[in-house]
Structure 1
Amino acid sequence: MKKRQMVPKTLYDKIWEDHVVISEENGESILYIDLHLINEVTSPQAFAGLRENGRTVRRPERCLAVADHNTPTENQSLGLPNIADDDARKQLEALAVNADEFDIEFYPMGDRQNGIVHVVGPERGRTLPGMTIVCGDSHTSTHGAFGALAQGIGTSEVEHVLATQTLRQKKSRNMLVRFNGSPTPGIGGKDFALAFIRAVGTAGATGHVVEYCGPAIDGLSMEGRMTLCNMTIEAGARAGLIAPDDVTFAYLKGRACAPTGDDWDRSLELWRQLKSDAGAVFDTVVEIDAGAIVPMVTWGTSPEDLVAADGIVPDPVDESDPVRRAYLKDALSYMGLEPGMPVQAIDIDRVFIGSCTNGRVEDLRIVAQLVKGKRVAERVRAMVVPGSRAVMEMAEAEGIAKTLTDAGFEWREPGCSMCLGMNPDRLRPGERCASTSNRNFKSRQGRDGRTHLMSPAMAAVAALTGRISDLREFLS
């Protein structure tokens, strides 16, 4: 008898195959879901559907509900009656009722464990390598930093997962993105993400699950890896993955919900096998020189509208494609910019540091180091919103919060905040914001607001100078 030859598999292949319940002839499979994260925005209709059909939650212990999108970042102790917006208050009230009725663990606004769901999941140790994780939120890809297959789903899928603990889906293609070399000082996970988006565009990874690897990835902290995986969705991918390693294990050890004792040892043995095999075939491979990555900012209304911090705003006349040329004209008009102007000539009104992309304590430490002993520009209103109450308490204990407030930043309570215009933290029409969030779509941060995406370090420098500035000049 011939010895059966094993086909090398990617990390995505392995997690997928481990979770397939059944594969159908039409190419769809039913996947078992290990963890279902729930927020107040995309779940009310799903729970209503359960009631209408007489169903219950299949595995409530595999769910975690967190209030984050609509939560105000001030006066949370006053509770839900203090929320002025009727829709926001009703969604938060509904989440509390649904979590209680269906026996789901819930971290409400103001709870010591509350925060943005994609910050809370990892810091509680609910996110673990090899898991399948879903949430009714695009940036669920964050959890891929731990070697988990994590993806956003729609409201109808939220109901399906609640009822069955499974998800119906077709398998994606594999993309490998290798970051070679070492980054220069000041370059972090956000810069990696923007470099990837610049390389492939906002549709370049469509239909793929991305695995990030290379020496520069090995050198990233878990916070940096989460930032990178968070923005994978902005390149069109379904999810982003990084194989777990000693950095991952060190982060997870001792977390409240992580395995302990013999279970930890057994888990480590399994987690160390979660990597792509030598010879595994990827449908697409992208190579990026980490040493060539420079601080970048967005100038337009899409995450792919990127330019180096010392660059200039593009001119539509240089674009041969008429569709793209029309887009450039519209984006420049919306953003109130002139073709060919240096991005460092762009004055800002607001600075937002936070979100599930850059609201972790490492991000806040970077900002505090840069602004210590300095002052926010007089005309700028700058705010820092920690990604969770645990991050908030840690930053306060380390003196980070005091450093920031001494410099003139507003220090807020945790929540999604100005990442999106669903709570009181919004831009006014025409206001221009240097933001560490993940999307710069029209009116994303408030009606007719203008958003420039950048790293926490770049946002910190913008707060001090009152304009988009080049971090490299500041460091030198």
Structure 2
Amino acid sequence: MSQPKTLFDKLWDAHVVKTSEGYPDVVYIDRHFIHEVTSPQAFDGLRKRGIKLFNPARTTATPDHNVPTKDQHLPIKEALSRHQVETLRKNTAEFGVTMYDLGHPYQGIVHIIGPELGLTLPGMTIVCGDSHTSTHGAFGSIAFGIGTSEVEQVLATQCILQYRPKTMRIEINGTLGKGVVSKDIILYIIAKISASGATGYFVEYAGEAIRSLSMEARMTICNMSIEMGARGGLIAPDETTFNYIKGRKFAPQGAAFDSIVEEWRQLKTDDDAKYDHVLTYDAADIAPMITYGTNPGMGIKVTDRIPTIAELNDISEQNSFTKSLEYMGLEPGSQLLGKSVDYVFIGSCTNARIEDLRLVASIVKGKKKAAGVEVWVVPGSKQVEEQARKEGLHTIFEEAGFELREPGCSACLGMNEDKIPAGKYCISTSNRNFEGRQGPKSRTFLASPLSAAAAAITGKVTDVRELV
């Protein structure tokens, strides 16, 4: 009888082309996503060596990091951003890669368009020159970010050299409380195990609370696996997954869909399969979360106070903790609740899907933003933007004084025009709060779309449970 296997091990073994003791495995890649930032050098490498793409049909491109989120019909103003997007256009045309350019109805953040177009499917191996490729693992696939030299490797061979990671299971059992959403779950886990607590692991999320989540909520959790050091995260596919995929543009259709669903149903961890590490949490203990520092592990329940140096678990953290609070202009032992904010950013590959925008609208409908707070709502794709308009969400946002922009990575990272000014506080639904991540000397609090919406209305860090 064969050894019981985890879902990760089943998927990995099914994609290993060659294995040799002491060397990385040669792993076949089903789907390769590219954008304008990490692909230019890879295409240059192919050009210099006179190599064509091994399989252009398995690569999909879209610009997202450097694009403006206003006036996308006009030429890009920033010279570097314009050059990067134009280079992507040139490279994809020359090498025969499908690209969804600015203005195309399928354009958007790469990790949002893959699932919504049905390009991301259970059982796949998926890579992109972007750490948050882990998002796609929500479909029961092995998805991870790669470096530029590896982008070239995949373009040339449709394979990649990788050492097999260890496996971790994180189980969340029970029922989530009022005002608690998937972003709170992942911020809670990272706060518990730290920003390096899953280094070297591929994480499978399981348990009753995970199964109860929509696909969009599951994507948020897998997206931020990277923020605890993991190689990636995945969730076994189920009826929720299959219902989400059915009818998507590039997903199998009709009888082919019904047939492949039967295969997808087998994609689960065997009983008695062993993980290298297992963690279990109670959903009832999870509250609306917020970060206070400059890494995603520095998070607390919104009603808690920032720890003091004496309360740190690890003495080696003291210097970085002190430096982080100085950067953020915060005091150890103080509360964030009631802290004034200047900007609210709702967007990024973590939280810019239609469900995220609906959550925000549910809080702000009929209300106005606080004076002095600037609020940007940036949909993750043209399809999300169109759906938001179709549902009248744009009217709710406009009446509240929020600015609904066009799709892109926007203020998640300071690579485009959407930067938070120096010294200003921003509540952000994005995934990282590093120094200068949202612009030089900007200060970021990570939170859920619900908590961000509450701050936009009140002008300060707020426990959203008081508003729902």
Q: Report the TM-score when normalising by structure 2.
A: 0.99
Q: Which of these residues, 156, 163, 167, is aligned with residue 149 of structure 2?
A: 156
The count of aligned residue pairs is: 468
Structure-1 residue corresponding to 2:65: 69
Structure-2 residue corresponding to 1:45: 41
Q: CA deviation at 1:319?
A: 4.0
Of 374-383 and 314-323, the range deviating more from structure 2: 314-323
Q: Which amino acid counterpart does residue 104 of structure 1 have in structure 2?
A: V
Query: 1:200, 1:76 → 2: CA distance?
Result: 41
Structure-2 residue corresponding to 1:33: 29
Alignment of 1:302-317 (within 5 A): 302-317=295-310
Does residue 17 (structure 1) correspond to residue 10 (structure 2)? The answer is no
Instruction: Please list the CA deviations of residues 138-171 of structure 1 after superposition, one character each: whole Å capped at 9, or x if unmatched.
Output: 1000000000100000000000000000010010
Alignment of 1:358-377 (within 5 A): 358-377=351-370
Q: Which of these residues, 96, 111, 116, is aligned with residue 118 of structure 1?
A: 111
Q: Which amino acid counterpart does residue 14 of structure 1 have in structure 2?
A: K
Q: Which of these residues, 289, 292, 302, is aligned with residue 296 of structure 1?
A: 289
Structure-1 residue corresponding to 2:179: 186
Secondary structure class of the residue paired with 2:73 = helix
Alignment of 1:241-390 (within 5 A): 241-319=234-312, 321-390=314-383
Query: 1:329, 1:20 → 2: CA distance?
Result: 45
Query: 2:312, 2:206 → 1: CA distance?
Result: 34
Q: Which amino acid counterpart does residue 22 of structure 1 have in structure 2?
A: K
Q: CA deviation at 1:315?
A: 2.3
Q: Is the 8 A contact 2:137 2:235 kept in 1?
A: yes
Query: 2:292, 2:349 → 1: CA distance?
Result: 21
Instruction: Please list the CA deviations of residues 100-122 of structure 1 after superposition, one character each: whole Å capped at 9, or x if unmatched.
Output: 11111100112111000000000
Secondary structure class of the residue paired with 1:344 = coil
Instruction: Please list the CA deviations of residues 34-71 of structure 1 after superposition, one character each: whole Å capped at 9, or x if unmatched.
Output: 00000000000000000011111111000000100001
Q: CA deviation at 1:291?
A: 1.5
Query: 2:467, 2:267 → 1: CA distance?
Result: 40
Change (3 A) 1:320 1:26: closer
Q: CA deviation at 1:288?
A: 1.0
Structure-2 residue corresponding to 1:131: 124
Query: 1:146, 1:427 → 2: CA distance?
Result: 33
Query: 2:192, 2:312 → 1: CA distance?
Result: 18
Secondary structure class of the residue paired with 2:401 = coil
Query: 1:365, 1:461 → 2: CA distance?
Result: 14
- Unaligned 5+ residue runs, structure 2? none
Secondary structure class of the residue paired with 2:414 = coil
Q: CA deviation at 1:317?
A: 4.6
Query: 2:182, 2:5 → 1: CA distance?
Result: 27
Does residue 228 (structure 1) correspond to residue 221 (structure 2)? The answer is yes
- Unaligned 5+ residue runs, structure 1? none
Q: Report the TM-score when normalising by structure 1.
A: 0.97
Structure-2 residue corresponding to 1:56: 52
Query: 1:343, 1:311 → 2: CA distance?
Result: 8
Q: Which of these residues, 60, 84, 94, is aligned with residue 87 of structure 2?
A: 94
Q: CA deviation at 1:304?
A: 0.4
Query: 2:382, 2:337 → 1: CA distance?
Result: 35
Structure-2 residue corresponding to 1:470: 463
Q: Which amino acid counterpart does residue 131 of structure 2 have in structure 1?
A: S
Q: Is the 8 A contact 2:363 2:467 kept in 1?
A: no
Q: Which of these residues, 440, 451, 457, is aligned with residue 458 of structure 1?
A: 451
Does residue 411 (structure 1) correspond to residue 390 (structure 2)? The answer is no
- Counting aligned pairs with the same residue, the percent is 52
Q: CA deviation at 1:27?
A: 3.8
Structure-1 residue corresponding to 2:392: 399
Q: Is the 8 A contact 2:188 2:300 kept in 1?
A: no
